[in-house]
Structure 1
Amino acid sequence: MNREITVTLMVLVTTTASIVGILCFYTNNEIQRLNNDTVETKIHEVTAMSSRFALRLQYVTGMMEVISHNTTMADPPTYSNLISDQLKGIPEDADSEKRNIAKILLYKKFDLDYVFYVVPNGDIYFVEPFSSQLNVLQLNLSFRDWYRGAVDTGTTYVSEVYTSSNKQHNVISVVVPIYDDEKSLNGIFGGTLNLGAVQRAFSMLDLRPNEYMLITDHNHNVVVDSRQPESGVEIRRFQLTVPDSSSKTDTNVMTTVIDGKEVLVISREMHVGTHTWSFLSIQPIADAYASSNALKNEAILLIVAMTIISSTSGFIVIRKMYANVVLTQMLKKINLELEKKTEEIEQADIKKEEFAAMITHELKTPLMPIMGYCKMLKTKMLGELTGEQLESVVTIENNAKRLVSLIDDILDARKLDLNKMRFKMEDVSIDELFEEIHSSYKVLKEKGKEFVIDMQVHGSTIRTDKMRLRQVFDNLISNAIKFTPDEDAKIEVGAKYADNKIRFYVKDNGFGIPPEKQVNLFKKFYQIDTSERRKAGGTGLGLAISKGIVENLNGKIWVKSDGKSGSTFYFELPQ
């Protein structure tokens, strides 16, 4: 072997080893980044879901405390002499004022199974609904931990988890002791929070492969399990002991073995009353790091392929001295692989944006208490209001509703951008749909706007998503209402056959849309820049969302207007 061949072989071997080393270094860094992104994403998800659970509990606790200060509820129980073991409390028609307050709280959809009031010795005074009172097994509840906790602490107390004998699912009780001016105990007002509703919400989550969520209490008992139905979770001890968090975020990341499988566990502490619970996300390591494992396997295959190519190339170079040609081809191939990996990184960034959209959804959560308190103020639950105060409360409530609507529009637009909006297809009667629309908007006549229905497809049905179809109509009718004059306004909604499709339309006699503005009309956040329309307000998302819904339903939407005498919005859907 002469010197030239030896040098060529050494250059080839050295170059190949360098490329493999660089590829290994790059692959290792990329795997670490993907694994870190996976963990960070899980931490954000666990943080968001645990915060929602904690916020729900705090809201219920706050409502119980507010109601306990109501004058009626704070008064001593008047009919305690009517308590009987047969009724497990007082008769249904006794102390209706306290019962009515309890009913209002129960009907607020806070996932409360029932609301109750017990007298100082632990006997039940009443339970709402009354049917639950009749099903109570014992009259005296002083054996419950929440009774002793409320009496001992003199403040709001959250109970241990127990299985409701009435509902057959896991619950916790939130109780507030009520004292008179002499600091004597009048009674204990409480509500039983349905953990089965959390279980039901868990079972509907779009989890990753083989991933499941758990909530464990301070005794390490499993109280919510995403793998089980609403009433299928037995309170059982969880074999894994989660260490106390040492971080400021109360979040732990660990790998361990459960049921013979190595798993990734993300846990976060939640403060439930005086106890500390844990929210856990558990997924097998192989599934959690599937993307990085796939990248690792691809790198191994690539290294093997490169080794084979280098060996073959070396043999050819030694014999034919085509080293430069072979190395050039190899470098081109490596560059293509690097570009492919770069594209995969960009796709990972897109997934981050999708997760940010989920966080946007959490903006709605603080608005619910605001609207709840507004309703309580309007119904005089917290006392009488002056006319000016009531008008301010109505303004707050209306703006909160507008903000909820804006968030809904942003979320819908985001879902459409990511092609994540779900559609529930069903057979929809057009007659029934138009009857509902007419019923919803017939009040416009009282505001001086004529609302007309023109149906030419009686008895027809269409296979579509009824809720999303109604959303399109509501957006178009809402625009027509905004852009028509206050007097002599006319809005017409209709449907007719067009070939093998049904053509719907919303027509108004408003200001019209200039032709040059129509080309951008269905783009997000687009506003027609005239003073009349600027007065009407709006986010500029309604038409963009309507276009996205119609196109996802295999239809099309367009507008006709001469810019002077009204507009007509058409959309067609297949039968």
Structure 2
Amino acid sequence: MISLISSNSFSISVKDIFFDKTGSKASTTTNETVGKNNILSLKLLANSLETRLNGAASMLEFAGNLSEMRSMPNATLLNATLEGLHGIPSYSDLQKRMIAQKVISYYPEIAGISFIMPNGDTYFMEPYSLQSNQTKNNLAFRDYFMGAISSNQTYLGDIITSTSSGLKRAIIAVPVFSNDDDNNGVLSGVLVGSIDLGLLSKETQSFNLPQEQRIVYVDSKGIKIADSDKRFSINNSESFSNLNSFQYALAGKFGSTVEEVSHETMLISYYPMDAIQNRWIILLMQPVVDVI
């Protein structure tokens, strides 16, 4: 099984970079010097998250290629139970459910796994509590489902609010193709992994940056994924799409620039992070007055 980078060792190495390079407020420090050091830190953050997202995708692809997962779902049973149970019963198609349970146990970042039928109906969710709390039985409207179906490839969706947990999640969707004799190679469904973004925020907040510094992860639409500042982390509506730094990174560039954020002049370092087919952005912001 593919394993993740240790969160503890990762956090220590990033802390060393931030506090050795950007923590000083000495008058000799310049925007250019701080910006360069910030880029090194952001590159480390980007590489680590890319590795973990790609690892989670590989795990889901491995699970989706197992013969038990590729066997045709019980559509007749689903039609009888979808409205009442939001999927099949907890004791049905246990081989698929057990595979999902094992993946979740191996990968703490994956908070839940769903199997979605080709028409968008939910076949099952694990843990089963997610299925019980589901408010929508058909997920064909989700970008991750449409992306996986149209491309026949693994797809990383933009940030959503889960209809089963109510929490912000990033979703990795993997198309699954049947291995049955009568339906070999036919799309049997989409295996979906829900990524717990709360773990990323907790990890980022563990860096204990100086209060005036802030790191945010945002998706391709400028929606916040994670925030190092606990004061802002609960503001889920905050968007960064209007920043020049965001637009530069979205175009694949990295660097530093000075611009206004909430009526304060900030030095913002930016770095793009390419994971699967999507692009996320990491921003490091600090007041200009602290680095001149």
Map of 1:45 onto structure 2: 41
Q: Does structure 2 conserve the Cα–Cα contact (< 8 Å) formed by 1:203 and 1:229?
A: no
Stretches of structure 1 lacking an aligned partner (at least 5 in a row):
1-29, 294-575
Matched residue, 2:230? 228
- Alignment match, 2:77: 82
**CA deviation after TM superposition for structure 1 residue 36, in Å:** 4.4
Residue from 256, 259, 272 that aligns with 1:256: 259
Partners of 2:32 and 2:255 lie apart in 1 by 14
1:244 maps onto 2:248 in alignment: yes
Structure 1 residues 272 and 66, CA, compared in 2 at 3 Å: closer, same or farther?
same
Deviation digits for residues 186-208 of structure 1 (CA, Å, limit 9, x no counterpart) = 11111100112111212222212
Measured at CA, do residues 133 and 277 of structure 1 come closer, stay the same or move farther in structure 2, by a change above 3 Å? same
- Per-residue Cα deviation, 1:161-192 (whole angstroms, up to 9, x for no partner): 11123433311110111123543211111110
Match of 2:98 in 1: 100
Residue 229 to residue 96, structure 1, CA distance change in 2 (3 Å)? farther
User: Does structure 1 retain, via aligned residues, the 8 Å contact 2:272–2:281?
Assistant: yes
Q: 1:142 to 1:220 in 2, by over 3 A?
A: same
Match of 1:200 in 2: 202
* TM-score after normalising by structure 1: 0.42
Letter in 2 for 1:80: A
Question: Which aligned pairs between 1:400-549 and structure 2 lie closer than 5 A?
Answer: none
Q: Is the 8 A contact 1:225 1:233 kept in 2?
A: no
- Deviation, 1:38, is 2.5
Q: Which runs of 5+ in 2 are unaligned?
A: 1-25
For residue 280 of structure 1, the aligned residue among 280, 283, 286 is 283
CA distance in 2, matches of 1:99, 1:246: 38
- Native 8 Å contact 2:148 2:175 kept in 1: yes
- CA-based RMSD of the aligned residues comes to 2.4
Q: Deviations over 1:257-292 (max 9, x none)?
A: 2122111101000113322221000000122x1xxx
1:417-470 Cα shifts (integer Å, max 9, x gaps):
xxxxxxxxxxxxxxxxxxxxxxxxxxxxxxxxxxxxxxxxxxxxxxxxxxxxxx
CA distance in 2, matches of 1:102, 1:235: 32
1:267 to 267, 270, 289: 270
| Aligned mates of 1:153, 1:265 — CA distance in 2 | 35
The one of 66, 70, 73 aligned to 2:62: 66
AA partner of residue 39 (structure 1): G
- Using the TM superposition, give the Cα deviation of residue 212 of structure 1 relative to its aligned residue in structure 2, in angstroms: 0.7
User: What is the CA–CA distance in structure 1 between the aligned matches of 2:232 and 2:114, rounded to whole Å?
Assistant: 23
Q: Assess, with a 3 A threshold, how the Cα gap between structure 1 residues 187 and 165 changes in structure 2: closer, same or farther.
A: closer
Does residue 129 of structure 2 align to residue 131 of structure 1? yes
Q: Name the amino acid aligned to 1:196.
A: G
Cα gap change, 1:128/1:180 in structure 2, threshold over 3 Å: closer, same or farther?
same
Q: CA deviation at 1:98?
A: 0.8
Higher RCO, 1 vs 2 (CA within 8 Å, ≥6 residues apart): 2
Paired AA for residue 35 in structure 2: V
The Cα offsets for residues 531-556 of structure 1, whole Å up to 9 and x where unpaired, read as xxxxxxxxxxxxxxxxxxxxxxxxxx
Shift of 1:34: 5.5
Name the counterpart of 2:170: 172
What one-letter code is carried by the residue in structure 1 that aligns with 2:244? T
**Larger helix percent:** 1
Tell me by how many angstroms 1:68 deviates: 1.1
Task: Summarize the Cα distance change of 1:190–1:234 in structure 2 as closer, same or farther, 3 Å threshold.
Answer: same
The correspondence of residues 282-301 of structure 1 with structure 2, limited to 5 A, is: 282-287=285-290, 289=291, 293=292
Give me the identity figure in percent: 24
Classify the secondary structure of the residue corresponding to 1:237. Answer: coil
CA pair 92-258 structure 1, distance change in 2 beyond 3 A? same
Alignment check: 8 A CA contact 1:80 1:90 kept: no
Tell me which amino acid in the other structure corresponds to 1:162. Answer: I
Go from structure 1 to structure 2 and tell me whether the alpha carbon gap of 1:264 and 1:199 turns closer, same or farther (over 3 Å shift).
Answer: same
Cα separation, 2, equivalents of 1:233 and 1:199: 13
1:110-142 CA-partner distances (Å, limit 9, x unpaired): 311211101111111110001111100011111
Give the conservation status (yes or no) of the 8 Å contact 1:263–1:284. Answer: yes
Kept in 2: contact 1:202–1:213 (CA 8 A)? yes
What CA distance in whole angstroms lies between the structure 2 residues aligned with 1:156 and 1:89?
23
The 1:245/1:126 distance shift into structure 2, 3 A limit, reads closer
For residues 331-370 of structure 1, what are the structure 2 equivalents within 5 Å?
none
Residue 80 of structure 1, CA deviation: 2.6
CA distance in 2, matches of 1:209, 1:163: 29
Give, as a single letter, the amino acid of the residue that structure 1 aligns with 2:152: G
d(CA) in 2 for partners of 1:200 and 1:148?
Answer: 31
Residue-pair matches, total? 258
Higher-Rg structure is 1
After TM superposition, give the deviation of residue 33 of structure 1 in Å. 6.3
Correspondence for 2:214 among 191, 212, 215:
212
CA distance in 2, matches of 1:113, 1:153: 25
Query: Do the aligned partners of 2:113 and 2:193 also contact (CA within 8 Å) in 1?
Result: yes
Aligned to 2:141: 143
Distance 1:220 1:241, change over 3 A: farther
Measure how far apart 1:48 and its partner are: 1.0
Q: Which residue of 1 aligns with 2:7?
A: none
Letter in 2 for 1:200: K
In structure 2, do the counterparts of structure 1 residues 68 and 267 end up closer, same or farther at CA, with 3 Å as the change threshold?
same
